[in-house]
Amino acid sequence: MAFESLTARLSEAFRRLRGRGRLTEADVDQALREIRLALLEADVSVKVVRPLIGRIREKAVGAEILKSLNPAQQVVKIVYDELVDLLGGTLAELNLARRPAVILMVGLQGAGKTTTAGKLARHLAGRGKKPLLVAADVTRPAAVTQLEVLGRSIDVPVHLPGALTDPVAIAEAGLARARAEERDVVIVDTAGRLHIDAALMAELEAVKAAVRPDEILLVVDAMTGQEAVAVAERFHAALTLTGVILTKLDGDTRGGAALSVKAATGVPIKFAATGERLDALEPFYPDRMASRILGMGDVLTLIEKAQAEVDEQKARELERKLRRAEWTLTDFLDQLRQLKKMGPLEELLKMIPGVGARLGQIQVDEKQLARLEAIILSMTPEERERPEIINYSRRKRIAAGSGTTVADVNRLLKQFEEARKLMKQMAKMGGKKGKGPRGF
Ligand code: GDP
């Protein structure tokens, strides 16, 4: 999967910062050196890395200390913010206001242009659009048939060249048909080449002049690394691209292309393709991609929410208890209440790395919260601190006291045990000394 090694390297750099109460300048320098290396190894362009590291350093040194984040978390947050910026900031949507809107798909042969044209048509059809695919790639012999088959499988009409051999004429005919049939998006698959050459660019410029596209999307293979950036620069210089679609992000790629293309060309990445199947196309969300690269689930969202909602002291106390495995039912209750303030519990738990997959076993249903609360409140303080002493007769008493059943009490104790195990695991994951969920 793309970004795996980058993610591993960055996590390592952050791991070393963890557990430090205060970061010295040397700590920051060391972390920045590692972040720089990790990015370069992931094939991110030097031109991009240098200013990026400069910005991170500036922010890290001048950072206003946010009370609820420890220094390592702050560095993560700064790197994250910079990555989001680098990836384009926010989702760049297609401009499909005109009817029919015209999308020109361009790119080198093998990048996945034809496949992606099909995926895009499917994506748009799924959003209520009526696309028409136009097969104007007459250079690669199989491309027309390929698009025809794709179109059939997704139930989108494909305009075939027929007797025409001139891509400009084919594109014009396709556009005329789209008008006549009231399709609202025309996706033109154009010719690719193995390498960029003047003839290809001349052909694409002619097609562009004829159909005046609203979008010119360059399809680039993320696996080609820096080459992808060079390709994007050349196409952009000749055609003025409106967007990039990165393909093969599912492959064994170091992912650097994704991080460099926008920064190097200024052209936003609009979609990412992650597989050969026709549903493997997603709008490109810079923030989601950045957290994926950092390998932290949506832990940053969690940090932000925690920043806003959780009482700092309580959180520190909790972290200390987790470290010492002193987590009790009282804390459990407390934490459930804190979480409730922050939004739907499951959403929150899912954001903690490693928890999402195990959610099924924990099942914190918000509607049950009141009952859980009642059960815990019916326990003696000693029982809350040491749940292992709760034998059968105690369970009966607690059930009666809280208006629940012994089965409910059992379930709660089991959930608590599960959660405690998970907490211990997370504490271990956080390094030798260990950290709670806030220390990840
Ligand atoms: P074109 O020459 O640019 O039109 O390329 P094609 O659309 O024919 O794609 C070339 C090859 O890449 C085909 O085997 C596709 O199935 C494959 N491909 C396209 N997109 C992706 C992707 O996102 N992931 C993977 N793994 N393969 C892809």
Residue 357: how many CB atoms within 10 A of its CB? 9
Buried-state track 160-191, b at ≥16 Cβ within 10 A, e below 16: bbeebebbbbbbbbbbebbeeeebbbbbbbbb
Distance CA 87, CA 72 (A): 22
Nearest to 42 by CA among 218, 269, 219, 222: 222
**Residue with the larger pLDDT of the pair 150 and 6:** 150
Three-class SS of residue 143?
A: helix
Last residue of a domain, one of 31, 63, 86: 86
Report the number of distinct structural domains present in the chain.
3
The answer to whether residues 137 and 214 belong to one domain is yes
Is the pTM value of this prediction over 0.80? no
The answer to whether residues 233 and 268 belong to one domain is yes
Question: Is 281 within any annotated ligand binding site?
Answer: no
Nearest to 262 by CA among 242, 238, 282: 242
Which ligand 1 atom minimizes the distance to the CA of 249?
A: 23
Please give the distance, rounded to the nearest whole angstrom, from the Cα atom of residue 8 to the centre of ligand 1: 27
Ligand 1, from 220, 274, 276, 284: best to mutate by most atoms within 8 Å of Cβ? 276
Look at residue 141 in the predicted model and tell me its pLDDT.
77
Which ligand 1 atom minimizes the distance to the CA of 119?
A: 20
Q: What range defines the domain where residue 279 resides?
A: 101-284
Which ligand 1 atom minimizes the distance to the CA of 137?
A: 4
The answer to whether residues 66 and 111 belong to one domain is no
Q: Is residue 150 part of a domain?
A: yes
pLDDT of residue 346 exceeding 80: no
Residue located via tokens 């959003």: 127
The answer to whether residues 307 and 255 belong to one domain is no
pLDDT of residue 226 exceeding 80: yes
Nearest to 375 by CA among 399, 391, 394, 392: 399
Nearest to 420 by CA among 328, 350, 318, 317: 328
Q: Is residue 205 part of a domain?
A: yes
Pairing of strands 185-190, 101-107: parallel
Question: Is 307 within any annotated ligand binding site?
Answer: no
Nearest to 214 by CA among 123, 104, 88: 104
Please give the distance, rounded to the nearest whole angstrom, from the Cα atom of residue 119 to the centre of ligand 1: 11
Q: What is the pLDDT averaged over residues 212-229?
A: 92
At 11-68, the pLDDT tens digits run 777 777 766 666 677 777 888 888 888 888 888 888 889 999 999 888 877 655 555 5
DSSP 128-142: T--EEEEEE--SSTT
The answer to whether residues 125 and 258 belong to one domain is yes
Q: Is residue 91 part of a domain?
A: no
Lowest-confidence range among 51-65, 197-211, 305-319, 374-388?
305-319
The answer to whether residues 212 and 148 belong to one domain is yes
Tell me the CATH number at 266.
3.40.50.300
Q: What is the pLDDT averaged over residues 257-265?
A: 86
pLDDT-based confidence at residue 433 (cuts at 50, 70, 90): very low
Last residue of a domain, one of 284, 314, 342: 284
Question: Is 193 within any annotated ligand binding site?
Answer: yes
Tell me the CATH number at 349.
1.10.260.30
Q: What is the pLDDT averaged over residues 142-171?
A: 94
Q: Is residue 291 part of a domain?
A: no
Lowest-confidence range among 2-11, 93-102, 105-114, 425-434?
425-434
Q: Is the ipTM of this complex over 0.95?
A: yes
Distance CA 103, CA 251 (A): 26
Q: Is residue 440 part of a domain?
A: no
Please give the distance, rounded to the nearest whole angstrom, from the Cα atom of residue 387 to the centre of ligand 1: 57
